[in-house]
Each structure stands twice: as C-alpha cells, then as structure tokens.
Chains A and B, each alone.
Chain A
Amino acid sequence: MKSLGSIRRSFAPWSDPNSIPYISIRNVTKKFGDFVAVDNLSLDIYNREFFALLGASGCGKSTLLRMLAGFEQPTSGEIVLDGQNMAGTPPYRRPVNMMFQSYALFPHMTVEKNIAFGLKQDGMPANEIAERVKQMLKLVKLEKFAARKPNQLSGGQRQRVALARAVAKRPKVLLLDEPLGALDKKLREETQFELMDLQQELGLTFVIVTHDQEEAMTMADRIAVMNAGKVIQVATPPEIYEAPNSRFVADFIGDVNIFDGKVTAVTGEFVDIEAEGGVKLRMVSSEPPAVGQNAAAVIRPEKIRVTGEKPAGRANALEGEIWDIGYLGDMTVFRVKLDGGKIVKASSLNAVRAAEDPLTYDQKVWVSFDENAGVVLKD
C-alpha cells in the first residue's frame, strides 16, 4: 500500500490550470439583517481535496459550510457542485453530508439505526443497508456497539458514529463542522490522522471548518484563512506558514515577529528595511517594495537563533538581552529585548539533553537570522 505522503505529494489540482473545480463558490454573500456574515466570497475546491476553512469564531466559516449543506441560502452569488448549480436545492436533495459539531445523533435510535437512517431515506433495499451499516461500523471500529443508544457511548465513540453516519451514503462531499472540537487533546490528535486515512480510503472531498490552526495544518491539503466574511489567503499549509500574504495570516497562524518600518534600499531581490528602534534589516523578497514605502519584515521565532557571541556570516544580527525564558520541554522560547526596546521571540529546539552554554536571564545576547528567514509584507 502506498503511504499517505506519496499520494499527497503528487496531489495538486489547484496548480493545474486545466483542472475543473468540484465545488465552485462564486461571489457568495450572506447577510443576516444588516450583518454581513460572508462577503462576496469566491473559492474553488477540487475533487478528493481535504480543504480547511480556518478562522476565529464569527468569521463566517460556519455560515459558508451551512450554505454548502443547504441550510442557508446565499443572499447573492452562486454555489456550483460537480457542475450543478445548488441554488434552491434543499439540504435533503444535495449530494453532500455533514458531520455536526454537536454530532446531532438521533437519541432515540441505536448506533445501527443512526447509521442506516440516511440509507433508508434513499430507499436502499434492507439487505444492502445491513451490509453497508456493517461496513461502516467496521470502518469506525464500533462493531461491538451496534445496539447501543448514543447516551450509552463515550464522547469519542459518539464522534465516530457521527462520522460513520455522515459517510454511509457515500456523499460527493463531506462537510465537517469542528469535528474534533469536543474531544480531549490526545484523542483529537489520533482522530486527525484517522480522518486523513479515511478520506484517502473513501476518496471523498472533505471540507472542514475549524478554528484550530494545528488541526487545519495537520489535515488539510489547502487552507482558506478567513476573516470578517472574506478569504484572506488560500494556500497549502507550508505556504500559509512560511509565506503568509498578509499581517493577519502571519499573526493568526503560529507565533511571529513583525518588524514595521520603511524601505531604505532595494538591490535586486534584497530589501533593506529600517524598523522601529533603529533596527536595520536585510531581507529577500520576490516582489520587492519601492524605496521609501512602508513595509514589514515577518520572521517566525524558530528561524531566529539566540547566541552569546555575535555570529559570523548571518545577514541580520541584533544585540539585546534575555528578557524571559520559557522552557517547554521539547523546545525553549526566549523573549529578547533589543537595544532599541523591541521584544523578539525566538525558539530553539532542545535536541540535546544539556546545552553547553546555557543562556540565562539578563544576559547580553545576539539574535540572528538569514535574509530568507522571513517574508516582506507591503502595507
């Protein structure tokens, strides 16, 4: 069997101009009274993609998902699924199924009946239903619990019943609304990988809504970062993390240092920026801003090294003193106060058990990073 990675590496229909999107969301706006929940949003999602809508609560991601399911109608714009315009199609006639955040299991039915419910609505013959239900129970490893009612199950088991029920009909698209939100951390991590395997196994398109960036980064082929009803950036997890297109995305995903300043010189792809507190930086940018323009250098903490001596051969080295040290076990987070007053976050992996030169509080140190350690954002 091929590993997930080998399948995933070759999967990138969005970069092929000839591929036809499976779900097309075109200029969709949804208003509730005066409140604009989704604002003129356009998105393409491809067949067999694991797509994540990521954003804080109230950013419109759930509303978008509910419009895909058919529980809400767009105020304007259209949603096309596999070539069919979904306008006016009620939820019970759409080839999509949803896994609800609350699981929404039918409390008066057994696990088996819950899973069979959707199949019965399609008028599937009883023996085929029984066969499919068995298959689903096996898939989510709940064979022993077929006759239980939902209130006789643990949270993790309920989650798996909800999943089995949603995929039992083999929908074209599975919508997942914060599917792991109610699970504890350990179970959540396990389930993330289970969901990825399941998606590959069934060959379905998954659209997941989450506010948990780690969850989105782990599972999704592509992520759409949303804010105030708009999509800010759509990209693969590494692109989102390493090349955020905006301050919002940079700040929302992971930890980040942002140096605000003015461009003083541009030489080829090198950009010199003078940031607050007299900090001079040299960064690389594929689309450099003009001299005199406002710009921000964005660098992730793990790209920054903290050393006692001034390092040789690094483009950017700034002097400061250690302000805070956070020991997290697998890594240590330093907060270094630069001479100009700015606080810089830097993290280093604790790959060896005892460091030779432990850095301590108030020590004079150098923080350093390469020209290509971060990105330059134009304001």
Chain B
Amino acid sequence: MQRWTPFNIVSVVLGFAFLYIPILLLVIFSFNESKLVTVWAGFSTKWYVSLLSNKSVLDAAWVTIRIGLVSATIATVLGTMAALTLVRYRRFNGRMLFSGMAYAPLVMPEVITGLSLLLLFVAMGMDRGFWTVLIAHITFTMCFVAVVVQSRLLTFDESVEEAAMDLGASPVTTFFHVTLPIIMPAVFSGWVLAFTLSLDDLVTSAFTTGPGTTTLPMKIYSQVKLGVTPEINAVSTIMIAIVTVGVVIASIITKRQELQRQRDERMAMAQP
C-alpha cells in the first residue's frame, strides 16, 4: 500500500487546484446574480434562462453540433480506412509519404493547417461557410481516428480474418461481419475523440469559415472580446457538463466490459 505523506498530499492538492480552479470559478460564476463576472451577488439561474432566448448562441451551438456529428462520422470512416491500409499493407509505393501525410496534422500547428486550408479553398473558389469548416474538421480529426484505430489493429489476430475467408466469406463480408465488429470499440473511441476535437475547435474554424457560419467556440471568443458575461459562463458550463457526462459514461462502459471480461476468464478457468 502507498502511504499518504505530507508531500504527496500537497502535490495532489496543488495539481488538482491548478487544473480545476479556473473551471470551478467559471461554473460558480455562471450562477451569479450580478452582471459583473467577478463580484458574487447571490445564486441565480437567470443566465441559463436568458441563454434560451439568445438566438445567436443557440444557432452557433446547433452549427457546432451538426459539424461535429458529420465531420466525426466522415473522419472515422476515412481514418479507419487509412489505419487499415497502414497496418495491413506494409509495403507499397508511397507508403512513407501516405503515413506522413496522414499523421502530419497531429504535429502541425493548427494555425498552419487552418491557413493552408483557407488558401486551398480560396484557390478553388469555394464559398466559405458550413462546408469548408466541415472539410477542415474532417482533415484534422481524421489522423486522430487513424492513430486510435491503428493501435487496435496492431494487436489484431489476422488469422481471424483468414478463418472467415476460409469459411467462404468474401473480403467485403469478412470486413463487415468480422473485422469491423471486433475493432468497433476503437472505432467508436476514434469517433468520440473526433467529435470532441471538432466541438471545441476555434483556430481552424476561424480560418475556414465565412459569413453566416459561426461555431460555438467562435461565438464565445468573439463575445469575450466585448467583455465576459455570465451568459458565456453558462454556455461554457453546459459544454463542460456535456463533456463530463460523456467521459463518465465512456469510462463506466469500459469498466463494465473489463469486469465482464474478468468474469468470463474466471468462468473459463473453472472448467476442465
């Protein structure tokens, strides 16, 4: 067992304080009666109520969710395909180039990704708006999906696929009935990651958007420039709540799967 020494306690407290005090302050002040963000004037939920009638914030939220859902889904499909190619075909012309390009957005400064996409859209004469932001989000989230799925595929027993084909399943049937169900948890994690990355992206969106399309992070940022209102705190609190619930559900599911697996193993061991 580990012992709680004073040093341990201090480091844990400081660590958590460093991470969570800003967020805690934001949540607390979203329930502030006063219009001033830094002066506490009693508990109130009025900012949440006023938020409901703030059409521009709601519109931005709706745009963000739509972009998040669509871009995460497409990025998951493309990212999974990229991961499969990189794991399964160890030798093909241009493999290095392909893997380099697939992973570049991981390390590329977002400003550069945003700028280059903007230049591309301008060069192609595309009207900037919902679709350009969507494409940009697919571009930079795809590689995260590819990384998550690739790490799962590295431990995948390929003889399972061979067994399926040996039993008469075509490569397509094998993929949808055997490979995909087995790697589904990784694909799903990839999707969740892509979705959250898309939800809170500011830089790339700002570069690639046009008039009429404002995502929630952009809305919040532009509002902050005019002074932080408790309404922004309220929006942020809701976002935090959504993310927290998502993370908690995901970890409960993982934990339960782990427990189920342990039970199964005990059951298998108990047999002759």
Hey, which chain B residues are within 8 Å of A156, CB to CB?
272
Given A106-B160, A108-B182, A152-B267 contact (CB < 8 Å): yes
Hey, which chain B residues are within 8 Å of A102, CB to CB?
157, 159
Interface size for B (C-beta < 8 A) is 25
Hey, which chain B residues are within 8 Å of A100, CB to CB?
159, 162-163
Q: Decide yes or no whether A97 CB sits under 8 A from chain B.
A: yes
Stretch at the interface among B18-26, B34-42, B168-176, B246-254: B168-176
Q: Decide yes or no whether B269 CB sits under 8 A from chain A.
A: yes
Hey, which chain A residues are within 8 Å of B261, CB to CB?
151
Task: Let me know if A151 and B168 touch, CB within 8 A.
Answer: no
Given A107-B182, A151-B265, A154-B269, A165-B159 contact (CB < 8 Å): no
Task: Let me know if B264 and A151 touch, CB within 8 A.
Answer: yes
Hey, which chain B residues are within 8 Å of A118, CB to CB?
167-168
What's the Cα separation between A304 and B170 when bound, in Å? Answer: 58
Closest-CB distance, B156 to chain A (whole angstroms): 11
Q: Decide yes or no whether A69 CB sits under 8 A from chain B.
A: yes
Interface size for A (C-beta < 8 A) is 32
What's the Cα separation between A101 and B166 when bound, in Å? Answer: 14
Q: Decide yes or no whether A193 CB sits under 8 A from chain B.
A: no
Which B141-194 residues sit within 8 Å CB-CB of chain A?
157, 159-160, 162-170, 173, 177-178, 181-182
What's the Cα separation between A165 and B168 when bound, in Å? Answer: 12
How many A-B pairs with Cβ below 8 Å? Answer: 76
Given A71-B162, A98-B163, A100-B159, A122-B265 contact (CB < 8 Å): no
Task: Let me know if B159 and A121 touch, CB within 8 A.
Answer: no
Task: Let me know if A121 and B157 touch, CB within 8 A.
Answer: no
Q: Decide yes or no whether A311 CB sits under 8 A from chain B.
A: no
Hey, which chain A residues are within 8 Å of B170, CB to CB?
92
Closest to B178 in A: A106
Closest-CB distance, A155 to chain B (whole angstroms): 8
Q: Decide yes or no whether A139 CB sits under 8 A from chain B.
A: no
Q: Mark A142-170, 1 if CB is under 8 A from B, else 0.
A: 00000001011110110000000110010
Q: Decide yes or no whether B93 CB sits under 8 A from chain A.
A: no
Hey, which chain A residues are within 8 Å of B169, CB to CB?
92, 117, 121
Given A118-B168, A121-B167, A122-B168, A91-B268 contact (CB < 8 Å): no
Closest to B180 in A: A108
What's the Cα separation between A69 and B89 when bound, in Å? Answer: 21
Q: Which of B168, B181, B264, B272 contacts A169 (CB 8 A)?
A: B168
Task: Let me know if A91 and B162 touch, CB within 8 A.
Answer: yes
Q: Decide yes or no whether B271 CB sits under 8 A from chain A.
A: yes
Hey, which chain B residues are within 8 Å of A107, CB to CB?
160, 182
Q: Decide yes or no whether A290 CB sits under 8 A from chain B.
A: no
Hey, which chain A residues are within 8 Å of B182, CB to CB?
106-108
Q: Which of B162, B168, B264 contacts A121 (CB 8 A)?
A: B168
Given A104-B159, A151-B265, A152-B264, A91-B166 contact (CB < 8 Å): yes
Closest to A168 in B: B167
Hey, which chain B residues are within 8 Å of A98, CB to CB?
162-163, 166
User: A residues within 8 Å of B by Cβ?
Assistant: 69-71, 90-93, 96-98, 100-102, 104-108, 117-118, 121-122, 149, 151-154, 156-157, 165-166, 169
25 example contacts (A-B, Cβ-Cβ < 8 A) are as follows: A69-B162, A91-B165, A92-B166, A92-B168, A98-B166, A100-B159, A100-B162, A101-B159, A104-B162, A106-B182, A107-B160, A117-B167, A117-B169, A118-B167, A121-B167, A121-B168, A121-B173, A149-B264, A151-B264, A152-B267, A153-B268, A154-B268, A154-B272, A157-B271, A169-B168
In addition to A107-B182, A117-B164, A154-B268, 12 A-B residue pairs with Cβ atoms within 8 Å of each other are A70-B166, A90-B165, A92-B168, A92-B169, A97-B167, A100-B159, A104-B157, A106-B160, A106-B178, A121-B173, A122-B168, A169-B167
